[in-house]
């Protein structure tokens, strides 16, 4: 990646992390509403796996 793009990405890195954390929190809340006695550790693992799969899919679409 050229230097200018790296600099721009670095400027937004914290916001990207915050946005992904907000997405995880959104789905944690949905799981909590739907399953009152949820195993939070399992739910977190499933949510993160699904976000990872979604990112892989998006990456394929953008780079193919």
Cα dihedral across residues 21, 27, 33, 35: positive or negative: negative
12-53 per-position pLDDT tens digit = 999 999 999 999 999 999 988 888 888 999 999 999 999 999
Asked if residue 1 has pLDDT above 80, the reply is no
pLDDT number for residue 61: 96
Asked if residue 59 has pLDDT above 90, the reply is yes
Q: How far apart are CA 44 and CA 28, in angstroms?
A: 7
Taking the domains of the chain in order of start, what are their residue ranges?
3-63
What's this model's pTM, rounded to 2 decimal places? 0.81
pLDDT number for residue 18: 98
DSSP states of 15-43 as a string? HHHHHHHHHHHHHHHHHHHH-TT--HHHH
């Amino acid at each position: 990646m050229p230097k200018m793009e790296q600099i721009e990405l670095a400027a937004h890195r914290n916001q990207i992390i915050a946005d992904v954390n907000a997405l995880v929190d959104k789905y944690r809340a949905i799981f909590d509403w739907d399953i009152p006695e949820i195993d939070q550790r399992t739910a977190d693992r499933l949510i993160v796996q699904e976000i990872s799969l979604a990112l892989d899919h998006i990456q394929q679409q953008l780079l193919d």
